[in-house]
Structure 1
Amino acid sequence: MSAALAATRRVAPLLAPRRAFFSFPDLAHLSPFHQPESDTHTFHERKILPYSQRQMYDVVSDVDSYRHFVPFVTASRVLRRAPPSGKNDAQQQQLEAELSVGFMGLTESYVSTVVCKPYESVEATASSSTPLFDTLITTWRFQPASPTSPHATDADIGARDALGPTLVSIDLAYAFAHPLHAQISAAFFGQVSKLMIRAFEERCLAVYGPGRR
């Protein structure tokens, strides 16, 4: 998310009360734009890139760097890392991170639980206490791929350190907590998954170079 969209207010401490974008009575149930909690929107994008699973996993799991390349993220920091779930480096890892997002002049911060499974997936789930979203789940997956096919292959697990290519996919599921936010974002939020894939590709290019096709 663009660094040009600067935060318009100071991010409050994690345990302090947070103000939403607007302070007025919750009349959501009276609005024609009301979204029931079950009305979650989903988007899916995928692309084959000339990098290894390990390389792409390392970019997505580096949450502290999100402010530098993830669309609409203006600040990002890891708050806590849970101890590894096992002794080898393929075990699941979990952390809590605070992200600040800004779009169309609006800014908000929220905490996500991020589950990283080297070198297969990274899933971020926004806390249920966030004032912005009822639901926000972002899932990245990395699978070995053929350069001539848009589908994953049955390559051996050792291919994670190979030069690529790798099929990267992103699944985004979200529901705004307030209908006004849903109305404001409706025109562009469906493009976010495309923007994230593009930003991810540009980040890999900046970190690793053009890769091997």
Structure 2
Amino acid sequence: MDILKWAFHEYREEIVYACSFGAEGIVLIDLISKVNNEAKINFLDTGLHFQETYELIEEVKNRYPSLQINMVQPKTSLEEQTKWYGDKLWIYNPNLCCNIRKIAPLKEALTDVKAWISGLRRDQSPTRRNIQYINKDSKFQKIKICPLIHWTWDDIMSYIELNKLPYNPLHEKGYPSIGCAPCTLPVSENEDQRAGRWAGQAKIECGLHQK
């Protein structure tokens, strides 16, 4: 809460939360609503998310009606992407697909702000172990703020349960990390939480959090 209070005091209207609506996202939305109930929240709507994710977003909108929840969509439709690059680009060139459907839209959405909030946690994967509360984001030339870096998965789910918050039912089916439906699989208990993302490929990040 101290990090969030500082962030909204420091950046006021020039900060946005880029939310994936995973469990961490639900916790941050609830915390943010206590600091600024008119905060701007962006969801990168790739057009490829699980139906459960879209249903959760509508539930959250009803629960927090004063928050500014925006569906950020890529300029390239799925039909155009198929026409230009072939069917199911996410299979044979997932980096390009993520760039078109996530990275480029977020870059545009961050144009008018100085900082953005992310739900990254250090225990999610090896690539996130050195994340700090406040980070210089070289990719988007912004400040990236990560209030939950020390939270564990148990911390996240305990907060959701104690506060009776809605969350994606896929979390109970082996999906700790939920992205686009074609690129997300359930994981076993001994795998890291992002093992189901782009399973079978070298890719472990969409690129939003890489330099």
TM over 0.5: no
TM-score (norm 2): 0.28
- Work out which of the two has the higher radius of gyration on C-alpha atoms and give 1 or 2: 1
> Between Structure 1 and Structure 2, which shows a larger proportion of helix residues?
2
TM-score (norm 1): 0.28
| Greater relative CO, 1 or 2 (CA 8 Å, sep 6+) | 1
> Between Structure 1 and Structure 2, which shows a larger proportion of strand residues?
1
